[in-house]
Structure 1
Amino acid sequence: MFDMFVTGFSMIANPMAYLLILIGSILGIFFGAVPGMTSSMGIALVLPVTYSMGIVEGMAILLGIYIGSISGGLITAILFNIPGTPASIATTFDGYPMAMRGEGGKALRVGMFYSFLGGMFSLLVLFYVSPPLAKFALKFGPVEYFSIGILSLTLIASLSGDDLVKGIISAMIGVALTTIGMAPIDSVKRFTFGIGALNGGVQLLPVLIGVYAVLEILKSAENSDAGYGEIPAFKAKGLGVSLKEFKQQFVNFVRSSVVGTVIGILPGLGATISNILAYSIAKDSSNHPEKFGTGVVDGLIASETANNAVSGGAMIPMLTMGIPGDAGTAMLLAAFMLHGITPGPLLFREHGPIVYSIFAILIVANVFTLIIEMYGLKVFLKLLDIPKQFLYPIIIVLATIGAYGLNNRLFDVLCIFIFAVLGYVLDKNEFPLAPLVLGFVIGPIIELNLRRGLMSTYGSFGAFFTRPISAVVLVMTLVLLVFSSLKSRKRQKTART
């Protein structure tokens, strides 16, 4: 194993490879930080440039983009309450309140540091246990994915604030929106009302941009005294956490890393779910859950550790089975095949040195991303000094370009403003927006796998309760519901007294 690592690093031991990783990491941070841009979009734009490169050089810049984009989303999430990517939704919950409290620098440093640690944790898992984990992931079928979707929906309780009913209504609105367009499996048109653009359904990116980016701008513009430039920038030193805080957060870090890595291994779930799932678990496990959402590092660490841990986890099924774990690794799979290499069970045997050069690139990209973000911190904080009359139009234009670039259709741009209005109405009536996004993300997973599972069992629901993994997940769901209910009652009794 050690010899293969030496071989991998020797294959990138040239200035050009490191320069390409550096460029890729910078581009990735940009694509992650700009609302509407994603890692898959960045990789797709740069992919044609790699045609004339060797496999190692081409993967150097592409993997740099992949790693940098996941971490880059925390910048706008913390400073402006606008998640740069769907994977940074939960980062806004505590990151932005910290910035508003004058701890923007500390929040950025903590997020960047734990993004790095989460990524490195998942890479260690990728290096040492990828084959057995990939085989375990093969045991997950539609029945198991459906159960995981149901488990994820129970997070509504922890994301609903003080009003569970409004949280459930918000989540159901999100789920209902996913039923627009062609139905899975049989492609029946639903709720299209004869509008051709609705046949393809509503995409996550316009929903996210409208509900978070444009809504945040509308809320800030509503108050003539509000402005991003007035957010105080706290000058943190070092990595943002003391040794004492690091020890206190160690369990949170390990738990969130495991959640992110496992979610990454399971194809189709992605960093969005891991981000919210880890945050919710951290909140439910905390001795002070009422502080979550007010600006505590616990929630920030959980969300940023988990979404970056997905990066290594998602590479496991891609390299060992040729199954992409998310949109980013789907583009990386295309890059492999364009260079004549087919990921799968024989990849380690036939192209061992190249595989370990990929591992080396991932390590270097994580280190470069941390360095770039830490040394660029002063630049990021300078964004707070930009007058809002200049900043607002820039954000809207970039978000619009990102939404249009998704499918090259103006309908997605229109959706941004439709969901901004919807989000504004819900927010004014004190409906939480996080359950809406969660319902929108999980809805298709539950519906698709419910129908696939029933097809595989000839219409019987028994398999959902008798297959071991599904049964365990459903039991966990029940336990979580009971646990959340008891904690909620305990908080209510405490509040009354």
Structure 2
Amino acid sequence: MMDILNHLGQGFAVALTPLNLVWLVLGSALGTVLGMLPGLGPSTGIALLLPLTFGMRPDTALIAMCAIYYGAMFGGSRSSILLNVPGDGAAVASCFDGYPMARKGQAEAALAISAIASFIGGLLAILAFVFVALPVARFALKFGPPEYFVLMVFALAATAAISKAALLKGVLSLVFGLMLTTVGLDFQSGVPRFTFGIQEMQMGVDFVVVIIGIYGISEVFENLEHIAQAVVKPVQTQFGRIWISMEQWKRSIWPILRQTPVGFFVGVLPGAGGTIAALMAYNNEKQISKHPEEFGQGAIEGLAAPEAANNACSVGAMIPMMTLGVPGSGTTAVMLGALLILGLQPGPLLFEQHPDVAWGVIASMFLGNVACAFINIPLAGLLVRVLAVPPRILYPLVVALAFLGVYTINFSLADFVLLTVLGFVGYLMKKFKVPTAPLILASVVGQSMEQSFRQSLMLSDGSLGIFFHSPIALTLWTLAILSVAWPFLSEARAKRKKETPPEIPME
């Protein structure tokens, strides 16, 4: 316990430096705005701003990115409540009761409870993170190349197998991402692979280009279809005091406390994400509510529960990224890429070799959560004016940021072509509902996954049996198989439950 408190004290000393505090507040405000704007979630925001972090210290860069991440979790519900249009996937469940509340003239209460629930959910999840991080990192020190390879197989399998319907599409996305990581010079043999004689391709496809293309440019392509349409007007633009009554607080507090752990554990699972956490929390509260008929009609519990869960989920997703080097979501995959560029290897050694960075980020989450609460409650009335920005102004700015950011990586015009092609690929993936998270995750971890595979074979003189020797590897193989089989098992269970005839009560 004292060890953890000492590390946390060291972390606050790092987080409270003037430069880190400035980026913390800026990131929180920027994340809130990006979360509010439909289509521009945390992944897109961090991807577009990734080149800005290249000149920063690692702790400052990661603190800024984390602030954008949970700022977007706070802000995503703003457009859900006032426009019935979620800022990102995690804010979908906030539409169900947030918008009906606003239609009833309760927009102030809806905006307030979404911020309060996000604050409490995030705070409790950060406390859990503090006590979980060191044990997980110490356990991860037992991992060798075979265990790391199997861990990445599990992470990719879990990300690709979100549902039975999307399983094949998820696998295709995953394979495409792994294919991109094989382009360029083989670092062990020096042989060019899949470069097609193009000299610029010998350095490979930079995963920052992949991230910005798939998240940033694809959003622009998708929005070009309806960019000329009028901007949706918020249901309310003038606000009174942004707060809730005691009765609304009593109805909200227990849903918040019940669903925060749900969001946290969903976040720790690779690939699950905030959307699943929020929908699961909403359904849980609806099932245990004494008045389920009120859900969808403006029940404040139906807004508080998913908001707490998706913020707890964003904190939970940081755990596998920082302790194991495996991202828990698409956004943390982008952050993992940034850390690799900055010369840090996320994983157990991050806590051993760079405790100032690891604990500085954890401490900054406490401060960032407070900053987001201040930004999203007193300034809510001012912030929602951002929703009136016309798309014809917003998306050209996104394109300019994307191309400028990509050019600063390698100063190569060839990256512009790659960026455009990948943006179009991302657009097609969204049109055909192919998940992009497996592609992003594969493009970030693919190279280290290949290196772990080759190192393992060198250790075993080419025997594949090394991947099945240790109990950790066998456990991870089991989890990978279960993650692929789970959508089929849950569907079969639901079908069997549906086909079971109801019991006839005995007289």
TM-score (norm 1): 0.68
1:267 aligned partner: none
* Alignment deviations for residues 117-173 of structure 1 (CA, whole Å, 9 cap, x no partner): 4334323445xxx3x544322111211111112212223554457343333323322
Instruction: Write out aligned runs for 1:12-51 (5 A).
Output: 20-29=19-28, 33=34, 35=45, 41-47=51-57
1:87 aligned partner: none
Q: 2:91 aligns with which of 84, 95, 107?
A: 95
**For the Cα contact (< 8 Å) 1:227–1:388, is it kept in 2?**
no
1:119 aligned partner: 126
1:68 aligned partner: 67
* Alignment partners' CA distance in 1, 2:263 and 2:384: 26
Task: Tell me the CA shift for residue 92 of structure 1.
Answer: 3.2
* Alignment partners' CA distance in 2, 1:80 and 1:173: 33
1:308 aligned partner: 315
**For the Cα contact (< 8 Å) 2:227–2:391, is it kept in 1?**
no
1:190 aligned partner: 193
* Alignment partners' CA distance in 2, 1:151 and 1:408: 36
What residue identity is the alignment partner of 2:28? Answer: I
**For the Cα contact (< 8 Å) 1:70–1:308, is it kept in 2?**
no
2:152 aligned partner: 149
Instruction: Write out aligned runs for 1:183-222 (5 A).
Output: 183-222=186-225
What residue identity is the alignment partner of 1:486? Answer: L
* Alignment partners' CA distance in 1, 2:310 and 2:18: 30
Task: Tell me the CA shift for residue 77 of structure 1.
Answer: 6.7
* Alignment partners' CA distance in 2, 1:222 and 1:175: 30
CA 486–362 in structure 1, closer or farther in 2 if over 3 Å, else same: closer
Quick check: 154-163 or 465-474, which moved more? 154-163
What residue identity is the alignment partner of 1:247? Answer: L
CA 409–28 in structure 1, closer or farther in 2 if over 3 Å, else same: farther
What residue identity is the alignment partner of 2:476? Answer: V
* Alignment deviations for residues 360-397 of structure 1 (CA, whole Å, 9 cap, x no partner): 66644543344345545444432211111111112222
Task: Tell me the CA shift for residue 70 of structure 1.
Answer: 3.6
**For the Cα contact (< 8 Å) 1:99–1:107, is it kept in 2?**
no
* Alignment deviations for residues 287-308 of structure 1 (CA, whole Å, 9 cap, x no partner): 969x9xx999887766643443
* Alignment partners' CA distance in 2, 1:454 and 1:301: 45
CA 186–119 in structure 1, closer or farther in 2 if over 3 Å, else same: farther
Q: Within the alignment, does 1:249 sit opposite 2:269 as a pair?
A: no
Quick check: 438-447 or 411-420, which moved more? 438-447
SS, match of residue 242 in structure 1 = helix
* Alignment partners' CA distance in 2, 1:10 and 1:362: 14
1:486 aligned partner: 489
Q: 1:467 aligns with which of 466, 470, 489?
A: 470
TM-score (norm 2): 0.67
What residue identity is the alignment partner of 1:255? Answer: F
* Alignment partners' CA distance in 2, 1:38 and 1:223: 22
2:406 aligned partner: 403
CA 452–487 in structure 1, closer or farther in 2 if over 3 Å, else same: same
**For the Cα contact (< 8 Å) 2:73–2:90, is it kept in 1?**
no
* Alignment partners' CA distance in 1, 2:371 and 2:282: 36
* Alignment partners' CA distance in 1, 2:149 and 2:216: 31
CA 168–26 in structure 1, closer or farther in 2 if over 3 Å, else same: same
Task: Tell me the CA shift for residue 192 of structure 1.
Answer: 0.8
Q: 2:446 aligns with which of 435, 443, 452?
A: 443
Task: Tell me the CA shift for residue 417 of structure 1.
Answer: 1.5
* Alignment partners' CA distance in 1, 2:354 and 2:220: 48
* Alignment partners' CA distance in 2, 1:463 and 1:229: 57
Task: Tell me the CA shift for residue 463 of structure 1.
Answer: 1.7
What residue identity is the alignment partner of 2:434? Answer: F
CA 18–163 in structure 1, closer or farther in 2 if over 3 Å, else same: closer
2:374 aligned partner: 371
Q: Aligned pair count?
A: 437
Task: Tell me the CA shift for residue 491 of structure 1.
Answer: 5.2
* Alignment partners' CA distance in 2, 1:355 and 1:222: 43
Of all paired residues, the percent bearing the same amino acid is: 23
2:427 aligned partner: 424
**For the Cα contact (< 8 Å) 1:252–1:302, is it kept in 2?**
yes
* Alignment partners' CA distance in 2, 1:332 and 1:123: 24
Could you tell me which runs of 5 or more consecutive residues in structure 1 were left unpaired when the two chains were aligned.
Answer: 48-57, 82-89, 261-273, 319-324, 335-341
2:480 aligned partner: 477
RMSD (CA atoms)? 5.1
Q: 1:394 aligns with which of 390, 393, 397?
A: 397
Task: Tell me the CA shift for residue 282 of structure 1.
Answer: 5.1
* Alignment deviations for residues 195-216 of structure 1 (CA, whole Å, 9 cap, x no partner): 2222222233332332233222
**For the Cα contact (< 8 Å) 2:164–2:488, is it kept in 1?**
no
Task: Tell me the CA shift for residue 456 of structure 1.
Answer: 1.9
* Alignment partners' CA distance in 2, 1:227 and 1:101: 25
* Alignment partners' CA distance in 1, 2:445 and 2:408: 24
Quick check: 227-236 or 248-257, which moved more? 227-236
**For the Cα contact (< 8 Å) 1:93–1:299, is it kept in 2?**
no
**For the Cα contact (< 8 Å) 1:38–1:69, is it kept in 2?**
no
Instruction: Write out aligned runs for 1:322-333 (5 A).
Output: 326=336
**For the Cα contact (< 8 Å) 2:146–2:452, is it kept in 1?**
yes
* Alignment partners' CA distance in 2, 1:345 and 1:164: 37
* Alignment partners' CA distance in 1, 2:477 and 2:279: 18
**For the Cα contact (< 8 Å) 1:36–1:399, is it kept in 2?**
no
Quick check: 238-247 or 394-403, which moved more? 238-247
SS, match of residue 249 in structure 1 = helix
Q: 1:135 aligns with which of 101, 116, 138?
A: 138
CA 20–116 in structure 1, closer or farther in 2 if over 3 Å, else same: farther
Task: Tell me the CA shift for residue 471 of structure 1.
Answer: 0.9
CA 306–493 in structure 1, closer or farther in 2 if over 3 Å, else same: same
What residue identity is the alignment partner of 2:315? Answer: N
2:291 aligned partner: none
* Alignment partners' CA distance in 1, 2:226 and 2:96: 16
Could you tell me which runs of 5 or more consecutive residues in structure 2 were left unpaired when the two chains were aligned.
Answer: 35-43, 81-85, 100-109, 287-295, 297-301, 326-334, 501-507
What residue identity is the alignment partner of 2:128? Answer: F
* Alignment partners' CA distance in 2, 1:185 and 1:122: 38
* Alignment partners' CA distance in 2, 1:437 and 1:63: 19
